[in-house]
């Protein structure tokens, strides 16, 4: 980890820095990289482990159930980013929230390493909860490293930080995936726990380099609020415990009793939250219009992420059941396909950044609406490719791995058109009253998209058919065309935001 003694902008004297940035960035980079290593390493194994026969060390669940569990898990990670941000703002402060979350995540991964079904699902719940809290607070801490909002290093710092995400996501399937599939599933899950432990070591060692602002609670709960919250939490916990106790004693409990409520929550809560903001009487007419415009982007993003996040579920199963796991004579585990997206992101993101700048200078940069439309057409096109690949994989025939390589490439191009733009647009369209909460709302688009996929699996939609890929591909492409056709109408609602 390179560091140097330099004089940083806005400081006097010498300050120990990391690539010209505050030294705390190095430790937050390493924390995030190892946390993402644990997250994506486990996720690369999840559906494969759930769907593998018990005789071969897996849980032996039906493919549809495995996909539903994966989708609900992913939806909950992003849903819990909302209360995770609230905990950082009102209870613990960002620094403590990240530390607590990291310990919870580590414990969850080690529970997955225990060869028992009950501990596995408890561990999965802990990882989802911890990941939501950490995700909502660690980026805030990066921002705290640059107290001057106009610090010229700020954007570069976030770029370095986000490279850690993709670096961890790239290496994880190659190592954890290989060990999990080729050696032992639970040893692979344990590796994910070790990864999070390494991240925590970097975090606690580097805590002295973090800004003191990260330790503060911006808007702490007063005693009355805390008491009321504890009472409500205990009541709801008691109701849930009683309901599940009745189901268990009746002898009818199955995993569906967990999946259905969480899936419905993942659909209802985003809709309720958007409607609540939209109908707030404190919003000005311009802000009301911007929220109406934002709903278009939110729905488009939900469609996009619902397809995109199947990289670790339906595409993993396609890799396992219908794709050759050899290329140029080299054999590899199916989980390695999960390294393609972060690899493509690292390769293409700088090129896209330069492309947008070059087009902007020529006054030819596509509008935000056009980028969203292109992203939807691309993600729809990727499932068009999957439809063709599924058709070729008839009977015992297995297709070339290059089919999945091309799908992941197309999806990554779509992601680079939508994800950075969506984050920026969310901050621009956010009403002043909800400036902080709107980033959590953006994450809810992932929750909604993944919950739709979980719902389709729970009602029995087959994923190993051309119809599965074709229907979603056409829907996404049509959504992209609709946004492009109605771009003038949506633009008018955006109140001057571009």
Residue 83 maps to a domain: yes
Expressed as residue numbers, the domain containing 473 is 268-498
* Same domain membership, residue 416 and residue 299: yes
* Same domain membership, residue 423 and residue 290: yes
* Same domain membership, residue 162 and residue 288: no
Contact between 366 and 441 (Cβ < 8 Å):
no
The pLDDT, as a whole number, for residue 348 is: 92
* Same domain membership, residue 378 and residue 304: yes
Residue 350 maps to a domain: yes
Tell me the DSSP string of 186-239. HHHHHHHHHHHHHHHHHHHHGGGGS-GGGGS-SS---HHHHHHHHHHHHHHHHH
User: Residues in the chain with pLDDT < 70?
Assistant: 1-15, 149, 435-436, 495-498
Residue 233 maps to a domain: no
The pLDDT, as a whole number, for residue 436 is: 65
The CATH number linked to 294 is 1.20.1250.20
The pLDDT, as a whole number, for residue 498 is: 61
* Same domain membership, residue 424 and residue 315: yes
* Same domain membership, residue 448 and residue 310: yes
Residue 81 maps to a domain: yes
* Same domain membership, residue 215 and residue 280: no
According to DSSP, residue 303 is labeled H
The pLDDT, as a whole number, for residue 286 is: 86
| Residues in a beta bridge with 18 | 21
The pLDDT, as a whole number, for residue 10 is: 45
* Same domain membership, residue 297 and residue 174: no
Residue 328 maps to a domain: yes
* Same domain membership, residue 306 and residue 186: no
Residue 372 maps to a domain: yes
Residue 388 to residue 212: CA distance in whole angstroms: 55
Task: Tell me the pLDDT tens digit for each residue of 27-67.
Answer: 999 999 999 999 999 999 999 999 999 999 999 999 999 99
Strand, helix or coil for residue 15: strand
* Same domain membership, residue 189 and residue 290: no
The pLDDT, as a whole number, for residue 438 is: 79
Contact between 487 and 369 (Cβ < 8 Å):
yes
* Same domain membership, residue 283 and residue 213: no
* Same domain membership, residue 403 and residue 315: yes
Residue 11 maps to a domain: no
Residue 250 maps to a domain: no
* Number of structural domains found in the chain: 2
pTM of the model: 0.91
Residue at which a domain ends, from 157, 187, 220: 220
| Residues in a beta bridge with 323 | 399
The pLDDT, as a whole number, for residue 140 is: 85
Residue 340 to residue 405: CA distance in whole angstroms: 7
């Amino acid at each position: 980890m390179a560091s140097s003694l330099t004089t940083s902008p806005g400081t006097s004297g010498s300050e120990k820095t990391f690539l010209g940035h505050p030294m705390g960035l190095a430790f937050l980079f390493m924390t995030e990289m190892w946390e993402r290593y644990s997250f994506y390493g486990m996720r690369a194994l999840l559906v494969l482990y759930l769907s593998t026969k018990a005789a071969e060390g897996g849980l032996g669940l039906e493919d549809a159930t495995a996909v539903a569990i994966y989708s609900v898990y992913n939806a909950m990670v992003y849903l819990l980013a909302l209360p995770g941000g609230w905990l950082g703002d009102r209870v613990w402060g960002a620094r403590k929230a990240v530390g607590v979350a990291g310990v919870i995540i580590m414990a969850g991964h080690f529970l997955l390493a225990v060869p028992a079904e009950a501990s596995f699902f408890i561990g999965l719940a802990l990882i989802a909860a911890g990941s939501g809290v950490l995700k909502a607070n660690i980026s805030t801490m990066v921002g705290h490293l640059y107290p001057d909002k106009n610090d010229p290093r700020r954007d570069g710092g976030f770029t370095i930080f986000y490279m850690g995400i993709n670096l961890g996501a790239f290496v994880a399937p190659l190592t954890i995936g290989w060990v999990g599939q080729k050696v032992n599933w639970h040893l692979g899950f344990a590796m994910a726990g070790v990864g999070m432990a390494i991240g925590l070591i970097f975090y606690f060692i580097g805590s002295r380099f973090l800004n003191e602002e990260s330790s503060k609670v911006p808007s702490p709960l007063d005693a009355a609020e805390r008491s009321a919250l504890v009472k409500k939490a205990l009541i709801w916990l008691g109701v849930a415990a009683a309901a599940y106790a009745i189901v268990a004693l009746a002898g009818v409990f199955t995993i569906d009793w967990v999946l259905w409520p969480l899936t419905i929550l993942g659909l209802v809560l985003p809709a309720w939250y958007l409607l609540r903001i939209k109908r707030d009487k404190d919003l000005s007419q311009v802000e009301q219009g911007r929220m109406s415009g934002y709903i278009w982007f939110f729905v488009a993003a939900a469609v996009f992420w619902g397809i995109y996040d199947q990289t670790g579920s339906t595409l993993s199963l396609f890799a396992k059941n219908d794709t050759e796991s050899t290329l140029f004579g080299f054999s590899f585990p199916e989980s390695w396909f999960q390294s393609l997206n972060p690899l493509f992101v690292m390769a293409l993101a700088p090129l896209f950044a330069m492309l947008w700048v070059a087009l902007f200078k020529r006054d030819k940069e596509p509008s935000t609406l056009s980028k969203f439309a292109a992203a939807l057409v691309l993600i729809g096109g990727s499932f068009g490719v999957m439809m063709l690949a599924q058709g070729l994989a008839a009977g015992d025939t297995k297709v070339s791995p290059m089919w999945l390589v091309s799908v992941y490439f197309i999806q990554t191009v779509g992601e680079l058109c939508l994800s950075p733009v969506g984050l920026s647009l969310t901050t621009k369209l956010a009403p002043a009253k909800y400036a902080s909460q709107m980033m959590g709302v953006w994450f809810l688009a992932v929750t909604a998209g993944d919950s739709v996929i979980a719902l389709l699996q729970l009602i029995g939609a087959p994923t190993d058919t051309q119809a599965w890929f074709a229907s979603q591909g056409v829907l996404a492409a049509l959504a992209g065309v609709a946004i492009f056709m109605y771009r003038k109408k949506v633009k008018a609602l955006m109140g001057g935001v571009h």
